[in-house]
Chain A
Amino acid sequence: MTGAVIIGVGQTAYEPAKPSQAIPEMVLEAVERALGDARIGMEAIDAVVTASVDLWDGRTASNIQVTEVVGAVMKPEARVAGDGLLAAIHAAMTVGAGAYGTVLVAAHCKMSEGQHWTCSSWAVDPICQQPLGLDFLSAAGLQARAYEQRHGVGASHWARVVEKNARSARANPLAPRGPDRSAADVLASSVIADPLRALDAAPATDGACVLILASPERARSLGSDTPVALLGAGYACEAHYLGDRDLTATDALGAASGRAYTMAGIDSPLRDIQVVECSEAFSYQELLWSEGLGLCPPGEGARLLEEGVTQPGGRLPVNPSGGMLGGSPFVVAGLARLAEAVLQVRGDAAGRQVGGVRRAIAHGTHGPAGQHHSVVVVGA
């Protein structure tokens, strides 16, 4: 138990672009939904943790622009410059420390305003890797190829992840509207970073997600009737140079999930968890992250999918929301996964509800080829 519960969730619709909205009004939409969901006013918020990355926003200290809409005026606020799930974990720690009774966590990104892949090259070290043209896309290509070579699981398998998540996204009222994507569509799309194809990559979207965390005592005094407990959390960062890593192993993810499971008293995710929301920026990553999350042994992620285990009606659905492939922006993705996990535990995941959810996993990642991972276990 981390000492924190989630009492409110708010997300904007995720869209390829929101040209009529500037970032503050986009974030305000999610804030108002979260406050409404928690049935509290902004005056009940003690502190704020935001997540945004300056280079993606094209603004120095990108949290300045949201200060007023997240209620941080004359309040404590800290910005975690990375995936939003990490911001939620940090917020949970501040609640667990006894410093704040309620913390609002807000993540935003308008990918339509910037240049995602180019920005990502600036997240790669400037001395050895960036000059080679490495960015998150090419790093993923390298990882996908390494995965294929190790396990004999390739493009035709990953394409089925896209098919599954695109179909699930159609049931998610917040996901962008789009056509069904069959595995054949994926395999027919153009190569972007061999062996990855255009439809293997999560689409660029705009959106914001807000969660409200509280201590259990404060949740009670606020009259929250559906608090969802943050049972366990972990995060870890691997070595930076790709050559220092085994890209087919999932060391950081294993460490992060191991930590989260220990805290939450989870022995076997397949047995103890009923739904997983993971951040698959690329199709093959859902398979690899499934292995790192301990849902199956290395190399068996595709088998899980083919046996229907991770399908919406399966034993352990993965990404019933549609995941990142269904449309979830960079930085927001991990927090949105947590939002979805909370909705699942509460039975509020309209259109995408998995039956009998007692415990759910949310996962976030950032960095080249999943260098950094965050994992959270939530439950009733």
Chain B
Amino acid sequence: MPQPLLRVQALLDLTWRYSAGSHFTRFFQALKDDGVILALRCPACRRVYLPPRPVCGNCFRRMEEWVPVGPRGTLRAFTVVHFPFLDPTTGQPRPVPFGMGLIQLDGADTTLNHYLDETDLGRLRLGLRVEAVFREPREGNMGDIRLFRVLAP
């Protein structure tokens, strides 16, 4: 086995200032000011999209019709994570276990990937009703939705 080579270390320290753009700005404004989750409807296929974006990718049509969705929804997928992934919001490994799901908010056609307040697999199944739990006070970013609470049947 050849000798390991010497290593040169370098620290990548970069800052990016991302523009939210008009669609996310409107979305976050509604979230912050009114506690409302907004989605966009494609004029052609009528699909209701979360998150908002300039065009429906299937139809290549600009979307301008904003529709409120949620805050309740249906669980369309779930998992319980045991691996401490890097949490991009903290830069630290996220404490495990944590529940995650794909939630279809009432009125939306796409699903939202978010945390669940449930980590017991025995109590998770597709079709459960869930509700967004907001952070107070709201700041106008995705963190304003802290997680989804599984509703009692």
Direct contact of A and B (CB under 8 A): yes
> Is the beta-carbon distance between A24 and B14 smaller than 8 angstroms?
no
Interface assignment of B152: CB less than 8 Å from any CB of chain A: no
Stretch at the interface among A107-115, A270-278, A301-309: A107-115
CB distance from B1 to the nearest CB of A (A): 22
Chain A 42-69: CB-based contact to B (< 8 A → 1; otherwise 0): 1100000000000101100000000111
> Is the beta-carbon distance between A113 and B18 smaller than 8 angstroms?
yes
Find A113's partner among B16, B22, B24 (CB 8 Å cutoff).
Answer: B16
Interface assignment of B55: CB less than 8 Å from any CB of chain A: yes
Find A22's partner among B12, B23, B57, B58 (CB 8 Å cutoff).
Answer: B23
CB distance from A206 to the nearest CB of B (A): 9
Chain B 58-80: CB-based contact to A (< 8 A → 1; otherwise 0): 10100000000000000000000
Interface assignment of A348: CB less than 8 Å from any CB of chain B: no
> Is the beta-carbon distance between A19 and B19 smaller than 8 angstroms?
yes
Interface assignment of B50: CB less than 8 Å from any CB of chain A: no
> Is the beta-carbon distance between B57 and A67 smaller than 8 angstroms?
yes
Q: Do A21 and B55 form a contact, CB below 8 Å, given A55-B14, A118-B14, A131-B8?
A: no
Chain A's interface size range is: 20 to 34
Interface assignment of B56: CB less than 8 Å from any CB of chain A: yes
Find B19's partner among A21, A41, A119 (CB 8 Å cutoff).
Answer: A21
Nearest to A57 among chain B residues (CB) is B16
Interface assignment of B54: CB less than 8 Å from any CB of chain A: yes
> Is the beta-carbon distance between B19 and A113 smaller than 8 angstroms?
yes
Docked pose: A37 CA to B54 CA in angstroms: 20
Interface assignment of B17: CB less than 8 Å from any CB of chain A: yes
Cβ–Cβ < 8 Å partners of B56 in chain A: 68
Find B14's partner among A18, A74, A119 (CB 8 Å cutoff).
Answer: A119
Nearest to B16 among chain A residues (CB) is A58
Chain A 73-90: CB-based contact to B (< 8 A → 1; otherwise 0): 110000000000000000
Stretch at the interface among A122-130, A153-161, A227-235, A325-333: A122-130
> Is the beta-carbon distance between B14 and A20 smaller than 8 angstroms?
no
Docked pose: A43 CA to B53 CA in angstroms: 20
CB distance from B58 to the nearest CB of A (A): 6
Docked pose: A24 CA to B14 CA in angstroms: 22
CB distance from A241 to the nearest CB of B (A): 15
Cβ–Cβ < 8 Å partners of A127 in chain B: 8
> Is the beta-carbon distance between B18 and A22 smaller than 8 angstroms?
yes
Docked pose: A21 CA to B53 CA in angstroms: 12
Find A68's partner among B17, B21, B54 (CB 8 Å cutoff).
Answer: B54
Cβ–Cβ < 8 Å partners of B57 in chain A: 67-68, 73
Find A69's partner among B18, B19, B24, B55 (CB 8 Å cutoff).
Answer: B55
Cβ–Cβ < 8 Å partners of A42 in chain B: 60
Q: Do A115 and B14 form a contact, CB below 8 Å, given A19-B19, A25-B21?
A: yes
> Is the beta-carbon distance between B10 and A130 smaller than 8 angstroms?
yes
B interface residues, Cβ below 8 angstroms from A: 8, 10, 12, 14-24, 53-58, 60
